[in-house]
Amino acid sequence: MSEALRKVRSLDVLCEETYLKAMAIRPILTVPDPVLKQRSKPVVGPVTDEHRALMDDMLETMYAAPGVGLAAIQIGVPLRIIVMDISPKEEEKQPRFFVNPEIVWASEETKPWEEGCLSVPDIYDEVERPAQVKLKYLNRDGQEIVEDAEGLFAVCIQHEMDHLEGTLFIDHLSRLKRDSAIKKVKKAERERASEGAAL
């Protein structure tokens, strides 16, 4: 093999590895994994390519699940990073990225909304949250953004920011409902494991 051809093939392998790494789908942690109860740490310093690679992985993982939001802690990374896409399925994807998000104002008015969570699969229940919030965060490029949120956006950002504090949506429910949800998730995982072992 000529040196030139060897270099081309090496470049192909490098490009393929880089592409696959950029498109990595990570395992999503589910209850009662104790990692989900950790408080995530702020991103210190500028938003780097390493952070953007993590956000890309999170986005691919979220789309594959599928879901509309994902916090880094849900894939085992305790950083204050969130990805989200609440655009309708029939429309073009509109991914959003939030680094070190903070809620700087919340309305007194609250609204109930039925929520679900990728870390509590197939469980849905109503949670009441502030109807409107104002948030501050860094975007994918590290620019500071201050933005108002309402409707699904407000619900989703509050839900995901709960994850950064080690809080799941089922923690807003009664203890009975919370314990029941965890039992259902554990039972479903045992059944899937049994089916996999039988194949």
160 is catalytic: yes
Instruction: Report the distance separating Cα 74 and Cα 6, nearest Å.
Output: 41
The answer to whether the beta carbons of residues 36 and 5 sit under 8 Å apart is: no
Beta strands in the chain (DSSP E): 69-71, 81-84, 96-106, 110-117, 120-130, 132-138, 144-150
CA 6 from chain centre, in angstroms, equals 40
DSSP 97: E
Largest CA distance in the chain: 71
3-state secondary structure of 48: coil
**Which residues, other chains included, contact 63 with Cβ-Cβ below 8 Å and sequence gap of 6+?**
85, 93
Helices (H), the chain: 3-22, 49-64, 151-164, 175-198
Give the active site residue among 160, 165, 189, 195.
160
Q: Which positions are catalytic?
A: 160
